Structure 1
Amino acid sequence: MSAEISAPTSKRRTPTVIRVLVLATFVVILNETIMINAIPRLMDDLHVTEVAAQWVSTAFMLTMAAIIPTTGWFLQRVTTRTAYAVAMGVFIAGTVLSALAPTFAVLLIGRIIQAGGTAVMMPLLMTTLMTVVAEQDRGKVMGNVTLAISVAPAMGPVISGLILQVEVPGIDSWRLLFVVMLPIAALVTWLGLRQLENVGEPEAGVLDIPSVLLAALGFGGLVFGLSKFHGDSYTTAVLIVAAGAALIIAFGLRQVRLQRTGTPLLDLRVLLVGTYAKALVLLSVAFLAMMGSMILLPLYLQNLRGLTPLETGLLVMPGGLAMGLLGPSVGKLFDKFGGRTLVIPGSIGIAVALAGFTQVSLTMPYWQLLALHILLMVSLAAAFTPVFTLGLGALPMNLYSHGSSMLGTLQQVAAAVGTALVVTVMSARSTSLIDAGTEPATAALDGMRLAFLVSAVLALIVIAMAVLLPNRSANPHGAHAPADEPEAPELVKS
């Protein structure tokens, strides 16, 4: 999708194409976390361990991370309607397979297919937004986009908690999560194909297969290795992580070479833009911390406090709703006052909330848990919208799609790493204490506290990046790639 053929519109009203894409993106990204509350059910119904069961979420995020680097290339080669139809068609196919899955392995394959469709939607939405929305209106529109990108994952556990409470004879409760999603996804697909208009024209180009393989194997190896840091498998885990990191480095080097001689799968020159690079670090760490906490809370509330999935969903629902309702307001405040007024307090709130969760106990009042969760969600809302807008707004127009792909890739990798990290830390600590003679419930609680502490420490990086971010993006709309890059004229316009 060529960004230079459609200048941003000066209309104050959100374009229809953005409204359609936001709705579809909300539906597909909702599935990223909808299985979190179902993990205890999967452990019983499909006879898998806790570490294995959490892969229904980790595999989804990891697949997105592996595929999103290709979306910049893909969106340049097909029309908007074609990209939308492919994304939703693949997503629906994965949903059907997951609903019918006879074994855990088949369920995992269905989740991976679902993620393949989801991976296209977010870059499609972000790139289109930066193309058709005027700079002075981006904060307001990005606030609505936050609903899809940030609130959908937060609402996943809430919706799944409600659905899992329904009893249908002969059907495992977790299958209903996919059965309910099917007609909604089909309706959204039909509405989108009726109303969606093409933005841009397809361009010719060749997909660099080695880059695709390096990205998939590199990011996959990294996250898989992190998930092995438990029990007696530390040596194996270190080797897998090292191999994954080496493949990621090889991927980066290949992109640098392709920038000079051909078409890079992911143009790394976006990292030369300081504001974008800082925003990338902030968003990645924030998503890592958020997804880690979203894994830990259901385990704590259901396994240690004895709540049902419905009760768990209701407890976290106010925070998710607050995040969604604040998205548009935060966008308007950003347009008026700039980013620092929102991002710095938001980043501090994230750290404070995660630090508060390190004090969880078997008797902690539920109102305190509710207050901490609301603080976390509101703080994330205050940070996400301005940072998305500042980061992408700092890029020249011909790097919008690459910036969206890079952001989506690292965001999903960070979320997958966060999920694997907290489960690994929790499991390792709990196992160690149980082996030393500690009562299992006390050991599990101590493991969760340590995992929350790790997330809280990582949140300090979010604060540091927030302080370094500018109040406004300095890049004028439509600027070209950095002048100090001699190969800039050879960049594929995206």
Structure 2
Amino acid sequence: MAALLISGFIGMFSETALNIAITELMALFNVEPATIQWLTTGFLLVLAILVPVSGLLLQWFTTRQLFIASLSFSIVGTLLAALAPGFEVLLVARLIQAVGTGLLLPLMFNTVLVIIPPHRRGTAMGIMGLVIMFAPAVGPAIAGLFLEYASWRTIFWTALPLLVFALIFGVVFMRNVSELTRPRIDVLSIVLSSIGFGGIVYGFSSAGEGDHGWSSPKVIIGIALGAAGLLLFILRQLRMKQPMMNLRAFRYPMFTMGTLIIFVSMMIILSTVMLLPIYLQTGMGLLPLAAGLLMLPGGLVNGLMSPIMGRLFDKYGPRWLVIPGLVLVIVILWLMTGIEPTTSKGEIIVLHSLLFIGISMIMMPAQTNGLNQLPRELYPDGTAIMNTLQQVAGAIGTALAISILSAGQKAYYADNGIAPADYLGKLPQAMTQGVQGAFWMTIAFAALGLVLSFFIKRVKVSDPEGGLQGPMH
């Protein structure tokens, strides 16, 4: 677990740290926002294609083999990114890094399910949450320091030796814990999965590009192809004796409920962590370092709360954490709809921190409770399903947030009769209207999550190996 957690920390750090350097990279490589977005979109796209296959990989390759492959891809991608002479090489490096992350995340969750007994899984997931959330929290702040006093390449040169250490540590201490069943590889399922999940992520991610938005042919074709591929993939999986991704995991009601709540929560999280940095820098005129430092306390609080929520989950179950967590999130998001350029930095820090306390009350309990209901043989499929849908939720949430933000800005200029030549002077006010509208969207997601949370029940695990004997317990 230590080897996995170190690797997960570095992977998450380098991903979020790069986000705050996007503006500098646009100027350095002389590319448009629609182009630079591919550093994030491409990363998500690789995850959307690779993570669904992870359930199959977990049954074909040992824990050590997957760990070494994951770290090798991460190291090669990080080294290439540090040396990248131009945008194209940096993009290829990001895609290679994404392969490493796509192999590592399902491996982490599956290992917890296999080696940690059910009554202690909340605590274990909480520790994992601490590590995974701590990295995105410190990433923007440290990246801001690098951009202020060094170069964006320092992000990757810092991560590289830590990844090498994690690989050596894992090679020495990692043991094989998974059972290899080596099911038949169905090529058509892999193709349909790639078209389905990849098309949806690509389509939604492309909605934030250019002036056409949702009417862009790329968006319409991407989503339509993705939906068709996904439908055919689902039908094929349900008819196969040995499916690539066993969708029968959805027969277990608490797994289904947990997955839906996680989906909604990821839309809220990724919308917020994208909207706030943009607004802090464009609407409030802060430098990247200041914006990163302002978001640091919220991420740290979320990370520190994860182990506490894990222990509370082990003791009391999910219901008394998830419902109050969603209520808190709705209240904070409502307060965030009043955000404006004059809002104090202290208020931003408090709201952001309280929001992520609410998130910590939702994510881990819903996820652990859902996975706990699955029998052992469905662990790889359950983790693959949850991790895949998180990538899809991220793409959809981000695309919707960007669209509402852009629409709000355009509406402000039109309603106030502002000429294009004067747009820059009124940008903070236009950005404020757009961001406020986007936060109302996140409230709608949170309200949906709250309705779902009333149906969540604690899973009583009767099988010491983990998992229940029947789907309706």
1:3-40 CA distance string (max 9 Å, x none): xxxxxxxxxxxxxxx23222222221333322221121
Shift of 1:406: 0.5
Kindly tell me the number of residue pairs found equivalent between the two proteins.
459
Further displaced range: 405-414 or 451-460: 451-460
**Among candidates 231, 239, 249, match of residue 257 of structure 1:** 239
Check whether the contact 2:317–2:458 (CA below 8 A) recurs between aligned residues: yes
Q: Distance in 2 between matches of 1:347 and 1:475?
A: 29
Q: Distance in 1 between matches of 2:461 and 2:174?
A: 32
Aligned to 1:419: 398
Q: Distance in 2 between matches of 1:421 and 1:176?
A: 32
Check whether the contact 1:395–1:403 (CA below 8 A) recurs between aligned residues: yes
**Among candidates 289, 292, 308, match of residue 310 of structure 1:** 289
Q: Distance in 1 between matches of 2:144 and 2:216?
A: 38
Q: Secondary structure at the match of 1:35?
A: helix
Shift of 1:53: 2.6
Taking a change above 3 Å as real, the CA distance of residues 454 and 52 of structure 1, as seen in their structure-2 partners, is farther
Q: How does 1:438-457 map to 2 (within 5 A)?
A: 438=418, 439-457=426-444
Aligned to 1:14: none
1:180-211 CA distance string (max 9 Å, x none): 11111111111111111111353433332222
Further displaced range: 18-27 or 355-364: 18-27
Q: Distance in 1 between matches of 2:471 and 2:403?
A: 45
Shift of 1:482: 4.7
**Among candidates 243, 248, 260, match of residue 230 of structure 2:** 248
Q: Secondary structure at the match of 1:86?
A: helix
| 1:190 matched to 2:168 | yes
| 1:384 matched to 2:371 | no
Shift of 1:394: 0.8
| Structure 2 gap ranges (5+) | 419-425
| 1:158 matched to 2:141 | yes
Taking a change above 3 Å as real, the CA distance of residues 473 and 434 of structure 1, as seen in their structure-2 partners, is farther
What amino acid sits opposite 2:53 in the alignment?
T
1:80-101 CA distance string (max 9 Å, x none): 1111000000111111222222
| 1:212 matched to 2:186 | no
Aligned to 1:356: 335
Further displaced range: 58-67 or 68-77: 58-67
Further displaced range: 231-240 or 243-252: 231-240
| 1:393 matched to 2:354 | no
Q: Distance in 2 between matches of 1:27 and 1:475?
A: 36
What amino acid sits opposite 1:218 in the alignment?
G
Q: TM-score, normalised by structure 1?
A: 0.88
Q: How does 1:240-389 map to 2 (within 5 A)?
A: 240-258=222-240, 260=241, 263-389=242-368
Check whether the contact 1:358–1:453 (CA below 8 A) recurs between aligned residues: yes
What amino acid sits opposite 2:122 in the alignment?
G
Check whether the contact 2:340–2:432 (CA below 8 A) recurs between aligned residues: yes
Q: Distance in 2 between matches of 1:206 and 1:290?
A: 37
Check whether the contact 1:397–1:477 (CA below 8 A) recurs between aligned residues: no
Q: Distance in 1 between matches of 2:460 and 2:447?
A: 23
Shift of 1:473: 4.2
Shift of 1:344: 1.1
Q: Distance in 2 between matches of 1:83 and 1:229?
A: 34
Aligned to 1:61: 44
Q: Secondary structure at the match of 1:206?
A: coil
Q: Secondary structure at the match of 2:17?
A: coil
| 1:174 matched to 2:152 | yes
What's the % identity of the aligned pairs?
A: 35
Shift of 1:216: 2.1
Flag as ranges the 4+ runs of structure 1 deviating above 6 A. Answer: none
Aligned to 2:421: none
Shift of 1:144: 0.5
Further displaced range: 366-375 or 99-108: 99-108
Q: Distance in 2 between matches of 1:128 and 1:228?
A: 34
Shift of 1:54: 3.1
Taking a change above 3 Å as real, the CA distance of residues 110 and 475 of structure 1, as seen in their structure-2 partners, is farther
Aligned to 2:107: 124
Q: Secondary structure at the match of 2:20?
A: helix
Shift of 1:474: 5.5
Check whether the contact 1:224–1:240 (CA below 8 A) recurs between aligned residues: yes
Check whether the contact 1:426–1:451 (CA below 8 A) recurs between aligned residues: yes
Check whether the contact 1:58–1:420 (CA below 8 A) recurs between aligned residues: no
Taking a change above 3 Å as real, the CA distance of residues 273 and 147 of structure 1, as seen in their structure-2 partners, is same
Q: Distance in 1 between matches of 2:33 and 2:462?
A: 47
Taking a change above 3 Å as real, the CA distance of residues 473 and 425 of structure 1, as seen in their structure-2 partners, is farther
Q: Distance in 1 between matches of 2:180 and 2:471?
A: 27
What amino acid sits opposite 2:229 in the alignment?
L
Shift of 1:432: 4.5
What amino acid sits opposite 1:455 in the alignment?
T
Further displaced range: 202-211 or 327-336: 202-211
Check whether the contact 1:396–1:475 (CA below 8 A) recurs between aligned residues: no
Q: Distance in 2 between matches of 1:151 and 1:282?
A: 22
